[in-house]
């Protein structure tokens, strides 16, 4: 029962990532695109967790940990670049 819902959730998260990607593609403002990319990151972390549970391979959990940190640094760097004009 749990694994059936996990398998369904993987497909749901893939469809939702596609939906958010539409907003990242056609968003009118720059902040829409930034927030959409951040939300895609969180969706992918949840996807990694469900994939790890489905395949029984918990290496995906370490991938999710590193992915969160890398995406955080990237988004903060982009916001700093647009606020102050340069990265340093």
Partner 1 sequence: MLSLILLIIGLFFFTSGALGIWRLPDPLSRLHAGGLGDTLGLGCLLLALILHQQDLGLTVKFFFLGLMVIIINPVITHLVASLEYKDINGGKGGAS
What residues line the site for partner 1 (CB under 8 A)?
1-2, 5-6, 9, 12-13, 16, 19-20, 22-23, 28-32, 34-36, 38-39, 42-43, 45-46, 49-50, 53, 58, 61-62, 64-65, 68-69, 72, 75-76, 79, 82-83
Tokens of 27: 């968003």
Instruction: Choose between 19 and 55: whose C-beta lies nearer to partner 1.
Output: 19
- Residue 87: CB minimum distance to partner 1, A: 15
Task: Determine the Cα–Cα distance for residues 68 and 19; give it in Å rounded to an integer.
Answer: 21
Phi-psi domain of 57 (left: phi exceeds 0; alpha: psi -120 through 50; beta: other): beta
- Residue 55: CB minimum distance to partner 1, A: 14
Rg (CA), the chain: 15
């Amino acid at each position: 029962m749990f694994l059936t819902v996990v398998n369904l959730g993987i497909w749901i998260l893939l469809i939702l990532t596609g939906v958010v990607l539409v907003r990242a593609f056609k968003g009118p403002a720059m902040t829409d695109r930034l927030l959409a990319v951040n939300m895609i990151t969180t969706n992918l972390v949840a996807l990694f967790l469900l994939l790890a549970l489905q395949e029984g391979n918990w290496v995906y959990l370490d991938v999710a940990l590193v992915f969160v940190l890398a995406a955080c640094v990237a988004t903060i760097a982009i916001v700093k670049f647009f606020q102050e004009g340069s990265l340093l």
